[in-house]
Structure 1
Amino acid sequence: MATEAGDGGLHFDSVLSQFEVKRLFGTGPVEWYTPTNVTLWLFLIIVATAALLIWGTRGRSMVPNRSQSMAELTYGMVHKMVEDISGKDGLKYFPYIMTLFMFVLFANFLGLLPKAFTVTSHIAVTGVLAFSVFFTVTAIGFIKHGAHFLDLFWVRSAPLAIRPVLAVIEVISYFVRPVSHSIRLAGNMIAGHAVIKVFAAFAGIAAVAPVSILAVVGMYAFEALVAFIQAYVFAILTCVYLKDALHPSH
């Protein structure tokens, strides 16, 4: 929080302190096996996903309740996304994409709770997700098409003279995918939460407190929209990459 200092200035806590990885128990350095706030919120994401998709649909009634309706709408939306972008042969991989979407969605939304930790603000998390997509779709491409998967980088519709140049560009673009895939998500989460904390820091100053509170409310509403959009974009890009693996020819 920001407070008015004796010299008329402001003292701020670090805006990025909300992204620090901290031990859940005891003191000392954080090791790879140490239970941390990241561990806790990763577990809560799994619990929230299971609660919606398993516990929320346990009745399977013809007239669904709210939780069943949300689960069915989410399922239908992601299923249609996979079919429309990757084709019917992409539906084989629907469970994987649905899992990714639900994980990112709940990670983003739970991160908006007070005192919560946004795991998707860490490149270590989004990087693992993005590289898992990259290696998965690349493996699918080579398993299904063998060496013909390399047709993805050879633009046959272009004049022969510029095909090698385009091939280099396509290769670079392909290997940059996991970087952009992960940074886009983490960057949006960091930026939004940092802005909220900056606005909240002014709430302790009487002169600007009303404006600060309104700004925080507005940013929370915006971040709720961004939380969904980023999960949706992550899933869409996964579908696009899957389509390239299933249909590599230009």
Structure 2
Amino acid sequence: MASEAHGAEEGGLVFHPMDQFIIKPLFGGDTIAWYTVTNATLWMALSVVAVIVLMVLGTRSRAIVPSRSQSIGELAYGFIYKMVEDVAGKDAIKFFPYIMTLFMFIVMANFLGLLPMSFTTTSHFAVTVVLALLVFLTVTIVGFVKNGVGFLGLFWVSSAPLALRPILAIIELISYFVRPVSHSIRLAGNVMAGHAVIKVFAGFAAIAVVSPVSVVAITAMYGLEVLVAFIQAYVFTILTCVYLKDALHPSH
């Protein structure tokens, strides 16, 4: 702390790109328990409220000539519905409400995290791991309920030579249980990396010599992060559809 203060006094550049991801209690104190209301809790709640406002209140007054909120809601509905139907099949349409809710929460949390002084909940593995585990458990339960023991056919590559099938079965089994890890890390890692880079450029903007370059870099990175916010929600959702397809149609 003393070195940081000394550097600040001498006009040195002191910034911490990862400080923006620290979870803090909203009402003071340093202790965080499971019931503590934190900045992460607040922004997750705001994400839920934003989804409700857009999809429920925004489309309540439906009209032939749609309003902006109705247009966005209808586009999102049609986009995810077609994704579920094309990727997982018509028999997966009954899971559309869950997948739609998943997509809207992630994309709204990503976009809200781009606001100044906000907190990006999807940058934390604690959030993305829970989302990924819910998908993993849902897919596994659906697979066994619908196919019984036949769901294990997902791990048995019948098209491969007989001698290779046991080895491939082990690889498929490991790959299956790694899914929630890769599913969660992909989302949190990409969101965290983008926000950290923006913070780094923002720190350099304080130096007069490189300030113009930093401003241009921040603008470019912010535009990229807007795209990433949507793409990462899309990737998480389409992978959910792929996993659901495996549960509904497990045979290779």
TM-score by length of 1: 0.96
Q: Find the counterpart in structure 1 of residue 31 from structure 2.
A: 29
Q: Find the counterpart in structure 2 of residue 96 from structure 1.
A: 98
Q: Give the 3 Å change call, closer, same or farther, for CA 47–207 of structure 1 in structure 2.
A: same
Deviation at 1:9, TM superposition (A): 7.6
Rounded to whole Å, the distance in 2 between the matches of 1:26 and 1:44 is 20
Rounded to whole Å, the distance in 1 between the matches of 2:216 and 2:145 is 54
The counterpart of 1:138, out of the listed 108, 128, 140, is: 140
Q: Structure 1 residue 198 and structure 2 residue 200: aligned?
A: yes
What pairs with 1:46-195 in structure 2 (closer than 5 Å)?
46-195=48-197
The counterpart of 1:237, out of the listed 228, 236, 239, is: 239
Deviation at 1:35, TM superposition (A): 0.5
Deviation at 1:10, TM superposition (A): 3.4
Q: Give the 3 Å change call, closer, same or farther, for CA 174–214 of structure 1 in structure 2.
A: same
- RMSD over aligned CA atoms reads 1.7
Rounded to whole Å, the distance in 1 between the matches of 2:212 and 2:150 is 62
Deviation at 1:31, TM superposition (A): 1.1
What secondary structure sits across from 1:151 in the alignment?
helix
Q: Structure 1 residue 226 and structure 2 residue 228: aligned?
A: yes
Rounded to whole Å, the distance in 2 between the matches of 1:221 and 1:194 is 15
Judge conservation of contact 1:3–1:11 (CA < 8 Å) in 2: no
Judge conservation of contact 2:8–2:14 (CA < 8 Å) in 1: no
1:111-155: CA deviations, max 9, x gaps?
Answer: 000010000000000000000000000000000010000000000
Rounded to whole Å, the distance in 2 between the matches of 1:152 and 1:12 is 52
Q: Structure 1 residue 45 and structure 2 residue 47: aligned?
A: yes
Instruction: Give aligned-pair identity as a percent.
Output: 65
Deviation at 1:30, TM superposition (A): 1.0
Rounded to whole Å, the distance in 2 between the matches of 1:10 and 1:137 is 52
Deviation at 1:7, TM superposition (A): 9.7
What secondary structure sits across from 1:11 in the alignment?
coil
Rounded to whole Å, the distance in 2 between the matches of 1:150 and 1:119 is 35
What secondary structure sits across from 2:164 in the alignment?
helix
Unmatched 5+ stretches in structure 1: none
Deviation at 1:12, TM superposition (A): 2.0
| Aligned residue type for 1:104 | I
Deviation at 1:13, TM superposition (A): 2.4
Judge conservation of contact 2:15–2:200 (CA < 8 Å) in 1: no
1:7-61: CA deviations, max 9, x gaps?
Answer: 9883322210000000100213111111100110011001100011011101110
| Aligned residue type for 1:31 | A
Q: Find the counterpart in structure 2 of residue 217 from structure 1.
A: 219
1:167-225: CA deviations, max 9, x gaps?
Answer: 00000000000000000000001100000000000111111111111110110000000
TM-score by length of 2: 0.96
Rounded to whole Å, the distance in 2 between the matches of 1:54 and 1:101 is 16
Deviation at 1:6, TM superposition (A): 8.0
Q: Give the 3 Å change call, closer, same or farther, for CA 121–62 of structure 1 in structure 2.
A: same
Rounded to whole Å, the distance in 1 between the matches of 2:10 and 2:209 is 13
Rounded to whole Å, the distance in 2 between the matches of 1:230 and 1:88 is 24
